[in-house]
Amino acid sequence: MAIYIVKRFFMMIATILIIATLTFFLMHSIPGSPFDEERTSNPTIQANLEKYYKLDQPTHIQYLYYLKAIVTFDFGPSIKKPNESVNTQLARGFPISAELGIVSILVAVLSGITLGTFAALRHNGIIDYGAMTFAVIGISVPNFVLATLLIQQFAVNLQWLPPATWSSPKHMILPTLALATGPTAIIARLTRSSMLEVLTQDYMKMARAKGLSPFRIVFRHALRNALMPIVTIMGTMLAGILTGTFVIERIFAIPGMGKYFVESINNRDYPVIMGSTVFYSAFLVFMLFLVDIVYGFLDPRIKLHRKEGDA
């Protein structure tokens, strides 16, 4: 296990390094400089600006500076908002995005598992039918469509909830719903099918024969075994929620990382683009690393240090 963790850790570092390098050379292949629009500046100011952002150096030197920036976690000043560093923007945006993401994941996991379990226990009943209809709709509707429809119904027509920003729990309801519905549907479906499989196993008959309470059977015996597939998809779901925050933050005008990223792309603010891309990727890769390790602890059958056999 220890060997596996160390190995995975180095793979994670390597992955982040490759992503960082790719981002750097991508940014440098863009024709033109970020100062092109501002024609007011005279050549001396232009030269000073380029010097300030180290754009006058040859590419490989810039690359070294960039690597240093990543290691020391200091991405320097933003180009479009010179009095703000990239770090300030990340520090301001990340907690909000993280809050949105964590709340959505919690909602998705809890409601998805509940829904899936009840659907499986009442197989082919009304609850099952209703839950699975919800799941198909949840999987089908893209989050930006859902968000727009939610705003129309609950914020504009009924005026129950605020349509935008992120300042009180009341503000969090609509964005969370919009972001969590898709993952909820996926988890509900997965829980249902794996519960149905577990419920037919012999040890379930055994548990019932022993006279255990239905509650205990479902929670201690069935659910525990049925949840393994859900841990497996946690990685891809995290990635989905992370990119989902881009769209949701944009629609609800939430000042999170996604907003800064979209803004920086539109402004061609290279330090911010590179900073947030690397930060996002590193965060994602780290989360996947955690999911892998949790999976290893949960299921002793899986020999993680030998990955060839998995299909």
Q: Phi-psi bin for 85: left (phi > 0), alpha (psi -120 to 50), beta?
A: beta
Q: Which parts of 202-261 interact with other proteins (CB under 8 A)?
A: 239, 242-243, 246-247, 250, 261
Among residues 47 and 149, whose Cβ is nearest to other proteins? 149
Among residues 35 and 144, whose Cβ is nearest to other proteins? 144
**Helix locations, 141-218, DSSP H:** 143-150, 169-199, 202-209, 214-216
Which listed residue (100, 241, 273, 304) binds other proteins by CB under 8 A? 273
As a dihedral over the C-alpha atoms of residue 194, residue 179, residue 239, residue 115, rounded to 10 degrees, the angle is -10
User: Per CB under 8 A, does 284 bind other proteins?
Assistant: yes
Which listed residue (40, 42, 44, 157) binds other proteins by CB under 8 A? 157
Q: Which residues have C-beta within 8 Å of that of residue 53, sequence separation ≥ 6?
A: 76, 77, 79, 271
Among residues 164 and 212, whose Cβ is nearest to other proteins? 164
Q: What angle do CA 8, 239, 148 make, to 5 degrees?
A: 175
How many positions of this chain bind other proteins (CB under 8 A)? 46
Q: How far is the CB of 11 from other proteins (least distance, A)?
A: 8
Pick from 62, 66, 63: which is nearest to 75 by CA? 66
Among residues 126 and 209, whose Cβ is nearest to other proteins? 126
Pick from 292, 276, 291: which is nearest to 19 by CA? 276
Q: Taking the mean position of all CA atoms in its chain, how far away is CA 19?
A: 17
Among residues 202 and 308, whose Cβ is nearest to other proteins? 308
Task: Specify the DSSP element, H or E, that contains 64.
Answer: helix 59-71
CA-CA distance, 240 to 187, in Å (whole number)? 13
Binding mask 1-40 for other proteins (x = CB under 8 A): --------------x--xx---x--xx-xxx---------
Q: Which stretch binds other proteins (CB under 8 A): 33-41, 58-66, 265-273, 296-304?
A: 265-273
User: Per CB under 8 A, does 151 bind other proteins?
Assistant: yes
- Residue numbers at the binding site for other proteins (CB under 8 A): 15, 18-19, 23, 26-27, 29-31, 136-137, 139-145, 148-149, 151-152, 155-157, 163, 239, 242-243, 246-247, 250, 261-262, 265-266, 268, 273, 277, 280-281, 284-285, 288, 308, 311
